[in-house]
Homo-oligomer: A and B are copies of this chain.
Amino acid sequence: MSSLANQLEQMESHRSLFENAVRALPLPVCPAFGSADALQAVRFAGTGQVLASRDAAAVAERFAQSVKASGNAVLRAEGVAVGRVSGKRVAVLFSGGPAAGGHNVLCGIKRMLGADNTVLGVKGGPKGLLAGKLFEVTDAHVAEILNTGGFDFLGTDRTKIKTPKQFEQVKKTCVEHQLDAIVIIGGDDSNTNAALLAEYLFSGIKADGSGVQVIGAPKTIDGDLQVPGLLPISFGFDTATRIYAELAGNILQDTRSSLKYWHFIKLMGRSASHVTLEVALQVKPAVALISEEVAEKRLSLGALVDEIVAAVVSRYRDKGLKHGVVLVPEGLIEFIPEMNALIAELNDLLAHEADAFAALAVDARAAFVAGKLTTAVAALFRSLPGYIVDMLLAERDSHGNLQVSLIPTEQLLIDMVRARIKETAPDVPFGSQHHFFGYEGRCGAPTLFDAAYTYNLGLTVGALILDGRSGYMASVTGLGQGGQPLAIPLTGLINVERRHGKDEYVIEKALVRTDAPAMRFFAGRRAAWAADDLFASPGPRQLWGPAAHQLPITVALNDGLPSLDFKLG
């Protein structure tokens, strides 16, 4: 075999040139933790800030032990820990969709816990915890996964631990594996789950009557888990948006090279438009729709089409441009009040008339539904193209909700824009392409920011466990000043929400605030971006060199930072 063929076989199984190189990237450490070579455990103490959610009274009742212990006080690392804790057994799991940096959280935990404690990886997410699929994580594993993307070392799933039987199963796993702590790396729902588990496991689990600690870490590419002043951003958001921004930037460059297409790009991110806003700030496209603003201004589908048509027409007539890019957030449809009303009626209708609906021939279903909708909503329903109607009648998820990501919003907008232009400005050319960027962005190698941030989140999680804490989510603030490890009491974030007809305890998703600095900056520039090509191409994320050090623009603006540069360590 040739020497090159030999080298190529050595590159299989996560041994690309890039993967080998990133494993050796040095990671900075928040000053509180000492230095990378001499990590130190820390004590946590109150910052003086106490959280009070809207439904604090109900929460204090439901989470009595947790709230009594934490007082909902925010903690920060303050001084070196007294004495060395050893012998702890800590299980770590990923929950929900993957996000870049998860591996580094695990690495940070393992490094902080050191050789005299044991870290166990849970295979396949919460389901693996129920089934007791645990294995010991070694230093060799850490060396293998450091700075690599995805959750593939452990896997993940979306099981919610909520039934009494499931709680019993977790207890059984704790006992069998002699666990002292569980770490849940996940989004809003998973951290709500962490709070419920923390309360359930608070005491009476081990032979001596003590409990099992539960700590959460804030993950989600959607960016909808953030707490002003306390949690700048969930991890994975930076990497995903940088991946999407590179692709959108490439496409913008293509539009001005090929001179013939409008590209409509739908971006993952479920309900919130943080991803779309960040990508818009990175690339400066002709149009970017922000769901939260659409809801706030109560814009109709027709009004959004008008906004896009205005850009298409004026760019052509004023500048001779036949091209542009429109960014569309995944969850847009649900934020258009008239569509929202339609979907809500449909969800109810399909739940209540499930049997009658299922019994109908497929092509009779639209008429059946239209006849049962209220008048205004029925008119909108009848005006939609057939493939959208099909989607609206498609299968619901396990919560009875429409799977919004299946609706081809980008195609719907293209078709409606094309029709409107034909009708009102037939001289204006309109060629189109559409894209959906989603899975490409969840498991990329972390940006330098996500790599450093998640490693320090992991160190914080580890330090909280060594400090005997439970019911907290780890955070790192002060991203421009070296990094300050924080612990946010989960119960301080929880409210009561009516879901599927009953009250549930939830951490509410943080949506884009239209009065926040990032949104105001965008609102101030978008007319100029629509009028002419002012786009930038942020390029592939760099792990080395002069372009490697960059914060998400939305985070820097909303936190009032003086530049995009971050400083951890």
Contacts and interface: CB of A to CB of B under 8 A. Distances in A.
Interface string A528-542: 010001111111111
Given A2-B560, A16-B536, A534-B13, A152 B253 contact: yes
A154 to B, nearest CB: 8
B256 A12 contact: no
Nearest to A124: B259
A14 B539 CA distance: 10
A563 B2 CA distance: 10
B21 A547 contact: yes
Contacts of A257: 94, 98, 150-152, 155-156, 442-443
Interface in A488-521: 517, 521
Contacts of A529: 12
Nearest to A17: B547
A183 B533 CA distance: 27
Given A250-B149, A250-B444, A544-B544, A19 B243 contact: no
Contact of A8 (B281, B440, B535, B560): B281
A247 interface: yes
B537 A4 contact: no
A37 B201 CA distance: 69
A135 interface: no
How many copies the complex holds: the figure is 2
Interface residues of A, number: 86
A435 B266 CA distance: 13
Contact of A11 (B2, B253, B536, B548): B536
Interface stretch (A50-58, A460-468, A550-558): A550-558
Contact of A4 (B259, B444, B556): B556
A252 to B, nearest CB: 8
A538 B16 contact: yes
Nearest to A5: B521
A131 interface: no
Contacts of A148: 253, 537
A48 interface: no
Contacts of A76: none
Contacts of A444: 246, 250, 253, 539-540
Contacts of A9: 525
B250 A155 contact: no
Contact of A543 (B7, B22, B149, B545): B545
A433 interface: yes
B253 A243 contact: no
Contact of A563 (B4, B539, B563): B4
Given A7-B564, A152-B257, A155-B257, 20 more contacts: A4-B563, A14-B535, A15-B536, A20-B547, A98-B258, A124-B259, A150-B256, A150-B537, A152-B253, A155-B256, A156-B257, A243-B250, A246-B444, A250-B440, A250-B441, A251-B439, A540-B541, A543-B545, A543-B547, A544-B546
Q: Which 7 A-B pairs have the closest CB atoms?
A: A544-B545, A18-B539, A150-B253, A151-B257, A152-B256, A540-B540, A253-B443
10 contacts: A5-B557, A8-B281, A14-B536, A19-B539, A150-B537, A250-B442, A257-B442, A540-B542, A542-B544, A545-B545
